[in-house]
Structures are given as C-alpha cells and as structure tokens.
Amino acid sequence: MENILPEYPKTEVDGTSIIIRYEDGSVDLWGFEKDALAAAEAAKEIEIGLRCIYYVERELIQVLTKLGEELEGLEIPPEHIRDYLTEGYCRVYRWFREFENI
C-alpha cells in the first residue's frame, strides 16, 4: 500500500531530547523523556501522529478548496463563499465536539 503520509515533520532524538524537524529545516524541541530508549519510542509515536495531522490538514484544505470552486460554478457570489465554507466547517467542528462526549 502506498504511504499517503507526508515525509515531514520528522523527529530526531538527541540523548533524552525529542526534536521535531520541519520540511523548511526549522526545528522545535518537543520535550524530554527519562532515558534515550523512552525518547526513541516517544519520538516514533510523535512523528506518526504529526504526519497524520499534516495529512488530514492537507486533505481538508483540498476538499474545502474544491467545495469553494463548486460553489463558484453555481454562481454563488464570491463574497459569500468564504462565509458558507466557514459556517460548514463550524458545524463539522461542533459535530466533532459532540463526538468527543460520547
């Protein structure tokens, strides 16, 4: 199966430190673990999580862009499209918030 996740961000371990490296070369210190083995294990989980988040973000942006283009094709006034997309997003966000409470 093709790996759909982006290559970045990546994690690096320096002793007990976990470092996040972004595609542009910038880095952030994520934090520390009790030992190098724990840091390596945590770094692996963090990297997968961050790459998943970036993937979801990219895909959602593509879907919202496509929806905006489709609304333009229906001759919806451009000044309203952003408001409609935002309101739709807010409704989905509320659904996620309710989902958390189940």
- The answer, as to whether pTM is greater than 0.85, is no
**Cα–Cα distance measured from residue 17 to residue 30, given in angstroms and rounded to the nearest whole number:** 8
Domain regions of the chain by residue span: 10-100
Alpha helices in the chain, H assignment, sequence order: 36-73, 78-100
The predicted model gives 1-12 an average pLDDT of: 88
pLDDT band for position 1 (50/70/90)? very low
Question: What is the SS3 assignment for 1?
Answer: coil
pLDDT band for position 102 (50/70/90)? low
Model confidence over 42-72: pLDDT tens digits? Answer: 999 999 999 999 999 999 999 999 999 999 9
Write the Ramachandran bin of 11: left for phi over 0, alpha for psi from -120 to 50, otherwise beta. Answer: beta
Is residue 17 over pLDDT 90?
yes
